[in-house]
Amino acid sequence: MTNHDDRNYNKELYQSSIDETFQEEQNRNHQENNTSQEFYRRQPELDETNNSEENSELITTTVNNSQTESVKRSKPKGKWSMFVSGLSGGLVVAVTGAVLLGTGVLQQPDSTNEVTETTETPSSIIENDTSNDVIPTSATNDDGSLSEALSRVSDAVVGVSNIQQTDLWSQSEAGGTGSGVIYKQENGSAYVVTNNHVVEGGNSVEVILTNGDQVEAEVLGVDELTDLAVLKIDDSKVTQVATLGSSANLGVGETAIAIGNPLGTEFAGSVTKGIISGLERSVEMDLNSDGQADWTTEVIQTDAAINPGNSGGALINSQGELIGINSMKIAQEAVEGIGFAIPIDSAKPIIDQLETSGNVARPFIGISAVALNTVPDVHKQRTLNLDQNVTEGIVVADTGAGTPADTAGLEQYDVITKINDKEITSMIDLKQYLYNETEIGEEITITYYRDGQEQTTSLNLSNQEESSQQTN
């Protein structure tokens, strides 16, 4: 063999060796990629994309084809082959990863998202966690006691229908409905307490019992200031009488239950439960709709729902005792859960007087007046001749003939500033002081200004039998 032939032979041998090494490395890289791609294919993230199955099939097909075409060969141990193997393997992995990321098969982790572990939890722990979420639905002892409380009073809460006749030729019909409470039964009669505004303006009144029977009622007496009225009915169909409790020892947060007929007899006997939200709340009342407060009444505040038709119904405690007469609520769009009831301890003496005499006896002086702070400055100076230091009091508008004020010499435009040592700034102050601090027949001292000069007079209080809400 010539030298030229030897060089060609060696060159072919060297080239064959290089080809075999490259082919072997390529086959091995295909196998590694198969393992790597099979791992990616099985990850849960592939299930979150719409094209996951298609991508998995593509990877699997590529791997299978590579396995079919590959031929196992002996692996050279040289450094050159190791370098080529590492380089080619890294390139394949990088390209494959880029493709998978680009197609959305793999998603980059978001460092801002919370990591959720998916490790399996033992069944015992699952059972314990589940048991902590279970809420008992059985009736509580409180529910049972409330049912007992309701059973002691529910049949004593009745409907009250105000029957009105608009003219001579029309038939009488219910002008409105409310609620009432049977509080007493004796000598063939039963007595019902309700609100004055429930029966006001009616030609006649009917009481609707819980069984639906309608019984004609007699109005024994009404009191506008306290908004109370007492009715009398035949007791032949009465089955229950409410037990009167006490409002003196009530506490904020105690259970309060309202019973009545909201929106009429269709929802008769409705029960709402809440708590005592406040005590001795002072609420101003405009009794003659003139835009001025005529009286301030102290009431119980509750969040138990009190709706139109509940007026005159019962507010009871958890023992089923009557602690208040539902009277009013604040009806504003922005207000929710503020209702009021007349405390039973305040209502008892009024109820007794209405039952026995038909009216409430109160001390009376016989004037109508307006607050000084409502008088224009020009009249304070020219008509009343008041010094600028006189800023509070009531201005006498009229005195009734033969009344204590008339007898004591009080006149129109007199400015009353004190009764005894009590400063008077409004008619509400006057009434509250007389009704709460004095008695009929008592002598009082009145301090007043006439033509700018301070004077005093004394008078004896009489019984207020008939008076308008601006007169006392």
- Which of 227, 235, 414, 429 is the catalytic position? 227
Spatial separation of the C-alpha atoms in residues 177 and 311, rounded to whole Å: 9
The verdict on whether 303 is a catalytic residue reads no
Q: Are 430 and 469 in contact (CB under 8 A)?
A: no
Give the number of other CB atoms < 10 A from CB of residue 191. Answer: 21
Upper half-sphere CA count for residue 14 (Cβ side, 13 Å): 6
Catalytic residue among 270, 277, 311, 327: 311
* Active-site residue flag, 123: no
Give whole-number Cα distances, 406 to 213, 421, 459, in Å: 52, 22, 9
Whether 5 sits among the annotated catalytic residues: the reply is no
Indicate which residue of 85, 154, 155, 197 is catalytic. 197
d(CA 83, CA 79): 6
Q: How far apart are CA 134 and CA 240, in angstroms?
A: 41
Distance (Å, rounded) from C-alpha 443 to C-alpha 440? 9
Q: Which of 158, 106, 86, 189 is nearest to 312 (CA)?
A: 158
Asked whether the beta carbons of 225 and 235 are under 8 A apart, the reply is no
**Catalytic residue set:** 197, 227, 311
